[in-house]
Amino acid sequence: MVAFNDYGNFDALGLAELVRRRQIAPAELVEAAVARAERVNPRLNAIVTPLYDDARRAAAAFADRPAPLAGVPFLVKDLDADMAGVPAMSGSRFLAGQRADHDSTLVARLRGAGLIPIGRTATPELGLLPVTEPEASGPTRNPWNPERTAGGSSGGSAAAVAAGIVPAAHGNDGGGSLRIPSSCCGVFGLKPSRGRTPAGPDRAQLWNGYALGGVITRSVRDSAALLDAISGPEPTSPYWAPPPARAFLDEVGAPPGRLRIALAKRPQVTNAPLHPDCAAAVDDAARLLAGLGHDVEEADPALDPEAFARDFFTLICVETAAFLARASERVGRRPRRGEIESATAVTAVLGRQRSALEAALARERLEAVGRSMADLFTRYDLMLTPSLATPPPALGAVKPSGLEAFGQELLLRLHLGVLLRIPGIVDASVRRVFSFIPYSPLANVTGLPAMSVPLAWNTDGLPVGTQLVGRLGDEATLFRLAAQLEEARPWRDRRPPIHADGDVTLRDAGAAPPRAPAPAITGGRVSGTAR
């Protein structure tokens, strides 16, 4: 079958419209997506479980139905999104060979929207790290520079979307895992409000409610349409986000009004330095927002970044220990040496060492942070921050290496896990991870919706995202503003050097986007921003 040559020029809604008008068949779209995956995935390692034949069978059995995204190829992350009969490894050698016997609620809703999964995307082991470099399948590379990280933990999905394999892909976010790779790969990623999307049917919530499913897209309207498709409670939901006033897709293109925006550049998780490129990008975004008529002023949340990091890490450790305990029950034994990565094992040991009292107090302190954020949002509609503290780092830069990795492995090998409680033993690893992502976990802890918007590229041709955080349940304002930014500074047609439409010259791919002309809106201002 001849590949659909114009595939890369359409977003998911555009492809669905072609199917609806019978201008193309789902089977043609699937073949185009498979051909594109085979062209670039060997260079990126974004797809770890191809489902090409399953997708062909689904396309062949396709029947016209009123589904918003009927016939569109899609990718599903290999974490917290079970697919019946499909391997569910969560990036771990320990879970190799495990297969789900039913779809998760979120996957069922994606299928119900008419999407056709063509594969599963890479994730770091158990989704723990903000880079996608699992030992089980190897690193996922950034299509803007294959020596750089694609971010994590939804790095495979972000790389696949940026490289034009699919226009949209599933991901999830427990500490920034949709927004981090979106920033690294120059695409759009929105984490919904807590309780907006389902975690079932096997779990009521993930990571104390900090983690939830979402999507990574090229276009804002695709993100809105997909959130419409997957959002809403299920019978096992312990709570749910306030229902929207109307469909999220209807918010795209609606006037956002004149918004009050807090510019917060001080790191919120550990006291990390801010790279000049990220500082310049967020200041540029502040000026752009002011030019669009919004009021922007510097205002940081009142919190202790170091205490926040300790408490958040405590709960990550506890959740990791619990995950491995559940996995051991499913597999029927505990992991053998080499079946899980040292960093994962260390995190789980620390989790087993934490008492119930320590975990409860950490959770209470983090809940207090959420209450403090409520005060900021009485004065502002949104908070503007860098998405990350640095541009995408080199592969391997965030993971333990050298003597640090050797020391952790030695402690595990000698069963000296008690020494991990000594201050400083794992501090370097924790600080290195949070120094890369000091802005994203706050939205997870507070449950607030947040998005990374691809507004800037640095002189090395690497994307530098900007984050906007909204009030609980107010994804509508984020979508309205994101669409305004997308129109003012379009990013959808930018192509990285590694792209399914063919290699793009580094000059064309990496040049900074042109400045949008100042719109005919007056009254916006930026207060206290570096010029």
DSSP 171: E
Question: Partners of 73 in the beta sheet?
Answer: 116
Rounded to whole angstroms, the Cα distance separating 387 from 527 reads: 20
Alpha carbon distances (Å) from 484 to 179, 215, 292, 385, 493: 19, 20, 8, 18, 16
Alpha carbon distances (Å) from 350 to 40, 194, 425: 39, 27, 11
Q: Considering 153, 182, 429, 440, which one is annotated as catalytic?
A: 153
Of 93, 92, 91, 117, nearest to 103 (Cα)?
117
Q: What is the 3-state secondary structure (H, E, C) of 27-64?
A: HHHHHHHHHHHHHHHHHHCCEEEECHHHHHHHHHCCCC
Rounded to whole angstroms, the Cα distance separating 414 from 404 reads: 16
* CB neighbourhood size of 111 (10 A): 18
For the question of residue 399 being annotated catalytic, the response is no
Residues with Cβ within 8 Å of 308's Cβ and at least 6 positions away in sequence, in order, are 268, 269, 270, 366, 369, 441, 442, 445
Rounded to whole angstroms, the Cα distance separating 16 from 13 reads: 5
Q: Is the distance from CB of 180 to CB of 387 less than 8 angstroms? A: yes
For the question of residue 265 being annotated catalytic, the response is no
Rounded to whole angstroms, the Cα distance separating 15 from 73 reads: 9
Rounded to whole angstroms, the Cα distance separating 95 from 85 reads: 14
Rounded to whole angstroms, the Cα distance separating 355 from 172 reads: 28
Q: Considering 90, 177, 219, 342, which one is annotated as catalytic?
A: 177
Q: Considering 77, 191, 265, 399, which one is annotated as catalytic?
A: 77
Scanning 98-138, the segments in alpha helix (DSSP H) are: 105-112
For the question of residue 342 being annotated catalytic, the response is no
**Active site residues per annotation:** 77, 153, 177
